[in-house]
Chain A
Amino acid sequence: MTVATAPDLAATLAAHRAAGRKLLVPYVTGGMDDQWLVTVEALAGAGADAIEIGLPFSDPMIDGPTVQAASLAALERGTTPAGVLADLGRISPGVPLVVMTYYNLVVRTGHRRMAASMAESGVTGAIVPDLPLEEVGPWAEAADSAGVATVLLVAPSTPDGRIAPIVERCRGFVYTVGRMGVTGEQRQLAGTALDVAARVKARTSLPVCVGIGISDADQARRVCEVADGVVVGSALVRRLLEGGGVEAAVDFIGGIRRALDRG
């Protein structure tokens, strides 16, 4: 168990930002292949500030084709939420782990039990994308008690007046949705990404990380002219699905790290 030494999401991201570093959060679907745990550990070495692990779900509503394919592959390998968390408990990547899970997996497991399992596995943050502010209460309380930060989403469609109550309930970082749509790679950085990042930055002291549609080093660098960091999912998962393995993952994320450090 890594619980005693697991780096805390909120503290780590705040410290890295204070040190002038842009935040890089790669996403991997838990259980998507037999190398996924090795990949997670390698990503820490490639310059990730935290790593997001998706629990595969049968109906990933906010995910595009790439992450859907990874979820399906994981489920076909017999992956379960409990199995992914147990696996995470066996590694010590040295960076905070954030779990992304659809809410039904939490409901089925039970709020307290899921929060406790995460904490026992060294997970210090959780993203539950289908739990908006109005519905997040019971989960967020259980997560708070277990020492797991509940990361909330702000979207381009979120009115200014709604941002303040969201960031007040949010912990760790604000997951700022870069574009209206599902997860997936985009040739061009959506204009909405910079706009929504600026609107959130103006209303919170939490780190602001933009995800959904961030596809390469150049887009990451440009978003970070406004935001504190990026979440990179589909572009990484595609490389893994194509069989690129740990090496391709490290190359890709390492390249984004260098671009962010150059500024």
Chain B
Amino acid sequence: MTAGEGAASGVIMGDPGDRGRFGEFGGRFVPESLVPACMELEAAFRAAWADPAFRDELTSTLASYGGRPTPVTECPRLSAELGVRVLLKREDLAHTGSHKINNVVGQALLARRMGKTRLVAETGAGQHGVATATAAARYGMACVVYMGEVDTARQELNVFRMELLGAEVRPVTSGSRTLKDAVNEALRDWVATVEDTHYCLGSVMGPHPYPWIVRELQRVVGDEARQQCRAILGGADPDVVVACVGGGSNAAGTFAGFADATSSALVGVEAAGGAAMAKGIPGVLHGMRSNLMQDEAGQILEAESISAGLDYPGIGPEHAHLAAIGRARYETATDAEVLEAFQLLSRTEGIIPALESAHALAWVARAARSGDELVRSGSTVLVTLSGRGDKDVAQVRELLA
């Protein structure tokens, strides 16, 4: 398959071709040292994804070990408060407490198939790091997680979790000492270790084939949710499908289940302080062409948000494409709105959301109250609850004190 075939066949979230293009976004902008590794990974994934035995092992592992399928939950008290019908796709109930497990089990199985014995990963909030450490433990692989020093401080417990799982956490002291710098360090590690190491990238970003691999591995979220919603809604689809976006993996996985199969509106919600779609300009970082927060010279700006998981100045290239073609819309939520949504869901439904996921809820609350065209009274809104909030409780307590 070559670039553009997906578009020609009318598929919105299809195969990005051998050049990894989502419209004008994506690509493979890495030093030559890493190009052969990216090509090898692409070939291995194409073969594995077409191999029923690989798919069976992934599906059964996600069921027996990962806790899939995760349910879709009606939210009667939250719905009454907002005047719209809210359904939650419960990735907070997956093993390790977020959707990240879907991606890492798939990549670990792929790495094992490729004969790699070591995983490296970047992490922001620590969710992807914990998930990677978990998969490494499960499959007996060595694991190194790069995490910005700012994030190791605000997510201490996740650092301990990773160490408990047998991973080595390396604090990153370069640049802004957050997620983008952790990606740089992971890439630097991979350049030197590519022979025995797989870079287990955590979101729909980076050089081709990562944005495609991670979206396909997260597609299970959207595919399950579509069927579950139809069962609940008597065969209908939600009017709006909402997910938070940092790099954008839970949103990409969710949207993949709806972009082609339904006419549901798709909304991604970024942190106001890391809004690559709202404030970004097309550029190239971490191997991909996408929207980036950058200054007039092209230096990348630091994202700043209450949520370490969304502290990323870019966005997955397919999201930039979905926005460009108008299939998805991207909004932002402020830290104050997020804190309010965090408490709202806890109080009304007995579910404490991750701060990342609270961004999606925060937009729904604002849209419902302000009468946004997408969220009219009586609309049905599916929100992907990407993770649970246990990791954030201590931070929120301090913020509310």
Contacts and interface: CB of A to CB of B under 8 A. Distances in A.
Interface in B307-351: none
Given A59-B184, A181-B191, A157 B30 contact: no
Contacts, number: 119
B298 A158 contact: no
B341 to A, nearest CB: 32
B32 A154 contact: yes
B298 A180 contact: no
Contacts of B391: none
B28 A104 contact: no
Interface in A10-61: 57-61
B297 interface: yes
Interface stretch (B152-160, B209-217, B282-290): B282-290
B298 A81 contact: yes
A177 B33 contact: yes
Contacts of A64: 188
Contacts of B192: 180-182
Which of B33, B195, B292 counts the most A-chain CB atoms under 10 A from its CB?
A: B33
A60 B185 CA distance: 10
Which of B175, B187, B284 counts the most A-chain CB atoms under 10 A from its CB?
A: B284
B32 A152 contact: yes
By size class, the interface of chain A is: 35 or more
A32 to B, nearest CB: 15
A157 to B, nearest CB: 5
Interface stretch (A105-113, A142-150, A220-228, A235-243): A105-113
Nearest to B193: A180
Interface residues of B, number: 39
A182 B32 contact: no
A177 B284 CA distance: 22
Contacts of A106: 298
Given A81-B298, A130-B31, A180 B194 contact: yes
Nearest to B208: A134
A177 B28 CA distance: 19
A59 B30 contact: no
A229 B297 CA distance: 33
A133 B27 CA distance: 12
Given A105-B297, A181-B192, A58 B175 contact: yes
A62 B35 CA distance: 13
Given A103-B284, A177-B32, 16 more contacts: A58-B175, A59-B300, A60-B184, A104-B283, A104-B284, A107-B289, A108-B298, A130-B29, A134-B28, A135-B29, A152-B32, A158-B32, A180-B33, A180-B191, A180-B195, A182-B188
Interface of A: 57-62, 64-65, 68, 75, 80-82, 103-109, 129-135, 152-159, 162, 166, 177, 180-182
Q: Top 10 nearest A-B pairs by Cβ distance?
A: A108-B298, A181-B192, A155-B33, A153-B32, A58-B299, A105-B298, A58-B300, A155-B32, A157-B36, A104-B283
